[in-house]
Every structure is written in structure tokens, then in C-alpha cells.
């Protein structure tokens, strides 16, 4: 007979509920009837050690936590700046937020113990400041010029620049292969800590909207407003439904990515057709929609022109998505491997800066192998493969 795990029932229930997981899903993970799980959570019976370990892994909690006398104090939920009526955060979103909070708390504690200096730009401004001023300070601090990116991949330049200044940037679209992040639910969030600020961007989108999300979240850092964002390129008709902080950070992002002087430097021919708009948008690393909204706000195009160009841009985008889907289907038919490198995915998920910091601490003997592995989501014997991605 398998050994029983004499866990604390209310802690087991708390772990499931904090993971936003239903009784049915949790029971299925350990192949037991729902009534059996309810008995465990009520203290009527106990799971086996293996079953409890499986639940700990499912809920992404340490196994030892189940034996605490009461539920521990968890990380505080991030403030939700999303508009009213947004989709409720589900298991995948809860897990990625908790994961980033754990990483952020660890690195912040390390920096605090080492008496690292606080980053002066965190909270340098507030929502009462001019968005143009905040945007200029972000560009100056990160030494970025949107008029002359060094490559055709602006988001990489922005991430590299942010991490050089001590901002950790995490990007992923999944927890594991069967648990993906919902873009409509979570586009990004920021933790505005003066020692170790963290930015998360849902990568289940094209680079242009990802870049806008990234700079939007950087604006959160600059005004020290920790929280969750979504729909960072809002429809003008729904503008009144958005939180003032979200609207402010959108203004900052628009001014940083699409400065007024740059937009005005393009002649009128740049806004005649959707293809003209796309060409300019691609040059700036933003979406056609973001550029059109900016041009409208700057009175470069009229409302009727905006509506006409946006409608055509939507059609062009739908056709583009169709072509991409066909391309992927063809690759699959030809059995051509098209999936990204696992270690590169983990590197982006952890943040390059965070990965390097943890690896340095591990190599220096400052943290145990288990801790390093947990922080990086990679087995210790695979660290060399992860590290090789840092220098590509």
C-alpha cells in the first residue's frame, strides 16, 4: 500500500484555488474522481505521496508547502489596469505572473544584500507629467533613436538597451506545451522595483505590437506603477473605458516609438494607401494601426482617411495571416522542422540579464544547483546549452 501524504487540507485547497484550477481539472491530473479530491481538501482522507507530489507540480508549488500548518502569505496580486470587462486571469496567466514575481523577488533581495544602488529612472515621473517628456527621457536613458535603428529587428534593440540599464525583460507565450498564454487575457505587465524592475511581454503576437507593449511597460517603470496591461493599442472609440494610467503609458509609447518630428518628416504620399502606411510602419518597427492612430492624433490625416486606411490595413493584415498559416501548413507537410530552439525560448522567458546573473551566481558558488535550476526552468546539466544562446 502506497504511503499517505498527511498534508494540510486547507493548504491543498488554497494551492488549487490560487492556481485558478477547477476541481475537475485537478482531479484529472492525478486520475482520481472529483469526490476523492474533495475528500483530500476536506481532510476526510489523504492522497498518496506520489499523488501529492503530482498536485504540487500541477499547481507549481513546492511539495513541502502542503505540510505547513496554514496557507502561507502569497505574492500580492498585481494591480489590474485592464479595462472593465476584460477576460479573467486563468491558470496560465497566474503561473507566469507568479513565476516573474519569484524571479524578481529573488534578484531584488540579492541586490539589496549587495547594497546595489537604486535605478534613478524608476519613478522619475508621474502620470501628471507630459508624456512627451517621459518618452524623451526613456529614449535618452536607453540611447535609442527610432529614426535610425541599427537592424531590421527594433524590438531586440529595445530589449538589449533596457537590460543594459538593469531592466529585466521576459518574453514568452507559454507555461508548457499544453498551457499557453491567452493574448486577449494578458499582453504584458511591469514590476516597478527600484532595484530590479521587471517587464513581461506576451510573445504570442507579431513583433510590432510586442514592441508597443514593451515600451508601454517601460512607461510603467518610469512612473513606478506596477500592474497588468492589455490592449495597449486601444480602439479610439473605446478610449473612455481605459484606465488613465494605461492611456498615459500609451501616449508615452506612441511618443517614444513614433516621435512627432519623425512622422512629420514623411511626405503626404506616405499616407495615401495602406501599403504606403505599412512601409513607414515597418521602418519604425510598429504596426500600421499604431502609426495611423498617431497620424490621426497629430492631425496628419483626417478621420475619414484614418477609417479608410484602417479598413484596408485590416484586410491586408488578414491576408498576411492567411499566407503565414499556409506557409506553416506547407512546412508541416514537408516535415521541415520549424519550431524554435528550446533553450532560446527559455532564455527569452527568463530574460537574458536574469539568466546571466543566475549563471554567474551558480558558477561562483553563491547559490545551490537546485535553486539555479528552479530559477531558470532548466536542468543543471543543460546549463551549457542555455549559456551558449547568450552569445549568439
Residues in Cβ contact with 42 at an 8 Å cutoff, skipping those fewer than 6 apart: 9
Task: Tell me 152's DSSP state.
Answer: S
Neighbours of 12 (CB within 10 A): 27
Q: What is the pLDDT, as a whole number, of residue 242?
A: 85
Measured at the CA of 50, the angle between CA 48 and CA 55, to 5 degrees, comes to 95
Residue 25 buriedness (CB in 10 A; 0-12 / 13-18 / 19+): middle
Task: Tell me the sheet residues that pair with 202.
Answer: 172
Per the model's pLDDT, the better-predicted residue between 8 and 242 turns out to be 8
How, if at all, do strands 227-229 and 179-180 pair?
unpaired
Residue 358 has pLDDT above 70, yes or no: yes
Q: What is the pLDDT, as a whole number, of residue 339?
A: 62
Residue 236 has pLDDT above 60, yes or no: no
Residue 267 has pLDDT above 80, yes or no: no
pLDDT tens string 191-222: 999 999 999 999 998 889 999 999 999 999 99
Q: If you average pLDDT over every residue of the chain, what do you get?
A: 91
pLDDT tens string 317-337: 888 778 877 877 776 666 555
- Comparing CA positions, the residue from 161, 159, 188 lying closest to residue 250 is 188
State the Cα torsion 32-33-37-39 to the nearest 10°: -120
Task: Tell me the sheet residues that pair with 80.
Answer: 228
- Comparing CA positions, the residue from 300, 303, 230 lying closest to residue 258 is 300
Residues in Cβ contact with 160 at an 8 Å cutoff, skipping those fewer than 6 apart: none
| Local structure of 280: helix, strand or coil | helix
pLDDT tens string 273-314: 998 898 889 889 999 989 998 998 888 899 999 999 999 988
Residue 24 has pLDDT above 70, yes or no: yes
Q: What is the pLDDT, as a whole number, of residue 200?
A: 98
**pTM of the predicted structure, to 2 decimals:** 0.88
pLDDT tens string 37-67: 999 999 999 999 999 999 999 999 989 889 9
| Alpha carbons 18 and 114: distance in angstroms, whole number | 33
- Comparing CA positions, the residue from 318, 317, 338 lying closest to residue 327 is 338
Residue with C-alpha cell 531584488? Answer: 108
Over pLDDT 70: what percentage of the chain?
95
Residue 147 has pLDDT above 80, yes or no: yes
pLDDT tens string 368-389: 999 999 999 999 999 999 999 9
Amino acid at each position: 500500500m502506497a504511503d499517505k501524504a498527511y498534508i494540510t487540507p486547507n493548504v491543498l485547497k488554497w494551492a488549487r484555488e490560487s492556481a485558478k484550477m477547477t476541481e475537475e481539472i485537478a482531479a484529472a491530473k492525478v486520475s482520481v474522481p472529483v469526490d476523492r479530491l474533495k475528500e483530500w481538501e476536506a481532510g476526510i482522507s489523504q492522497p498518496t505521496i506520489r499523488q501529492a507530489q503530482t498536485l504540487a507540480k500541477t499547481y507549481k508549488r513546492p511539495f513541502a508547502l502542503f505540510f505547513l500548518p496554514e496557507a502561507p502569505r502569497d505574492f500580492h496580486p498585481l494591480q489590474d489596469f485592464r479595462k472593465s470587462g476584460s477576460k479573467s486571469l486563468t491558470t496560465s496567466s497566474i503561473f507566469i505572473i507568479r513565476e516573474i514575481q519569484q524571479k524578481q523577488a529573488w534578484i531584488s533581495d540579492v541586490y539589496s544584500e549587495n547594497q546595489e544602488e537604486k535605478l534613478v529612472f524608476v519613478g522619475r515621473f508621474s502620470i501628471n507629467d507630459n508624456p512627451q517628456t517621459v518618452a524623451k527621457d526613456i529614449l535618452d536613458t536607453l540611447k535609442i533613436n527610432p529614426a535610425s535603428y541599427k537592424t531590421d529587428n527594433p524590438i531586440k534593440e529595445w530589449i538589449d538597451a533596457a537590460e543594459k540599464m538593469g531592466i529585466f525583460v521576459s518574453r514568452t507565450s507559454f507555461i508548457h506545451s499544453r498551457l499557453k498564454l491567452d493574448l486577449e487575457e494578458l499582453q504584458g505587465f511591469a514590476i516597478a522595483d527600484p532595484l530590479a524592475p521587471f517587464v513581461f511581454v506576451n510573445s504570442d503576437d507579431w513583433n510590432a505590437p510586442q514592441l508597443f507593449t514593451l515600451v508601454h511597460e517601460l512607461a510603467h517603470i518610469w512612473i513606478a506603477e506596477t500592474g497588468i496591461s492589455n490592449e495597449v493599442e486601444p480602439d479610439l472609440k473605446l478610449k473612455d473605458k481605459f484606465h488613465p494610467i494605461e492611456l498615459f503609458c500609451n501616449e508615452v509609447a506612441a511618443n517614444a516609438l513614433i516621435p512627432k518630428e519623425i512622422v512629420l518628416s514623411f511626405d503626404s504620399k506616405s499616407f495615401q494607401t495602406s501599403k504606403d502606411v505599412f512601409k513607414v510602419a515597418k521602418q519604425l518597427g510598429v504596426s500600421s494601426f499604431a502609426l495611423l492612430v498617431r497620424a490621426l492624433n497629430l492631425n496628419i490625416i483626417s478621420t475619414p482617411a484614418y477609417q479608410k486606411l484602417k479598413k484596408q490595413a485590416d484586410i491586408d493584415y488578414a491576408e498576411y495571416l492567411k499566407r503565414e498559416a499556409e506557409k506553416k501548413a506547407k512546412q508541416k507537410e514537408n516535415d521541415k522542422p520549424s519550431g524554435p530552439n528550446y533553450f532560446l525560448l527559455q532564455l527569452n522567458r527568463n530574460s537574458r540579464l536574469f539568466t546571466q546573473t543566475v549563471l554567474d551566481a551558480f558558477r561562483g558558488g553563491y547559490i545551490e544547483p537546485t535553486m539555479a535550476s528552479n530559477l531558470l526552468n532548466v536542468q543543471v546539466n543543460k546549463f551549457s546549452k542555455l549559456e551558449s544562446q547568450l552569445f549568439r
